[in-house]
Chains A and B, each alone.
Chain A
Amino acid sequence: NAGVTQTPKFQVLKTGQSMTLQCAQDMNHEYMSWYRQDPGMGLRLIHYSVGAGITDQGEVPNGYNVSRSTTEDFPLRLLSAAPSQTSVYFCASSYPGGGEAFFGQGTRLTVV
């Protein structure tokens, strides 16, 4: 059982470049979300989705886009990378209504 698969694990970008972080889950979870983790800040919600075709903004959405064309996949796009987006990113999925969240292994992104 793969659970939540997040790729890549590490990435270095130059300022202004774009990229997509991939997230896929095989548990048929309707709720998926993206977080960034910065020192002293805890996990902060970027975007979330309650099902295919539905997405919404979290606490820190600026500079990021998401889409949810299938139940399984929830990619996060950085449109024009900035050094302030250097962080560790986690994707998570759960059943709706506040069920246990399952996390991917994280992506360490550095923007230079």
Chain B
Amino acid sequence: ILNVEQSPQSLHVQEGDSTNFTCSFPSSNFYALHWYRWETAKSPEALFVMTLNGDEKKKGRISATLNTKEGYSYLYIKGSQPEDSATYLCAFFNGNQFYFGTGTSLTVIP
């Protein structure tokens, strides 16, 4: 079993705060690292697919970085809004299977 760990498990921030989460994964057999946003009663939706060491991706106020050599990725949200409230999942792909972390649950307080 391969471990993908996310921290923190949950986070409450005020509207307008910036925040970041961490995803740790094995540094061997790396093919891709995904970030997904998962809203309550919906299905996960992809935010980023990252494949190269040093990758930086951005979508609006959300960005992510990747370090495959040390096995971690950061997701940043700038100026959090209530609509950012969701669970953020990362997934490690080793060429055959996806391994998901347990997610970081973000609540943005208006």
Instruction: List chain A positions with a Cβ less than 8 A from chain B.
Output: 33, 35, 40-45, 48, 56, 58-59, 90, 97-106
A59 to B34, CA, bound (A): 19
Cβ of B96 under 8 Å from chain A: yes
Interface flags, B38-60, vs A, CB<8A=1, else 0: 00001111100101000000000
Cβ of B102 under 8 Å from chain A: yes
Kindly report which residue of chain B lies nearest to residue A97, judged by CB atoms.
Answer: B31
Q: Which of B84-100 contact A (CB under 8 A)?
A: 89, 91, 93, 95-100
**Contact residues in B for A43 (Cβ distance below 8 Å):** 44, 89, 91, 100
> Would you list 27 pairs from A and B whose C-beta atoms are within 8 A, ordered by A residue?
A33-B97, A33-B98, A35-B100, A41-B102, A42-B101, A43-B44, A43-B100, A45-B98, A45-B99, A59-B1, A90-B43, A97-B31, A98-B32, A98-B34, A98-B51, A98-B98, A99-B32, A100-B34, A100-B46, A101-B46, A101-B91, A102-B46, A103-B43, A103-B44, A103-B45, A104-B43, A105-B43
**Contact residues in A for B98 (Cβ distance below 8 Å):** 33, 45, 98, 101
Contacts A98-B31, A101-B34; A42 near B102 (Cβ below 8 A)? yes
Shortest distance between the CB of A65 and any CB in chain B (Å): 18
**Contact residues in B for A90 (Cβ distance below 8 Å):** 43-44
A40 to B43, CA, bound (A): 17
A35 to B99, CA, bound (A): 10
A33 to B93, CA, bound (A): 13
CB pair B97–A42 under 8 Å, yes or no, is no
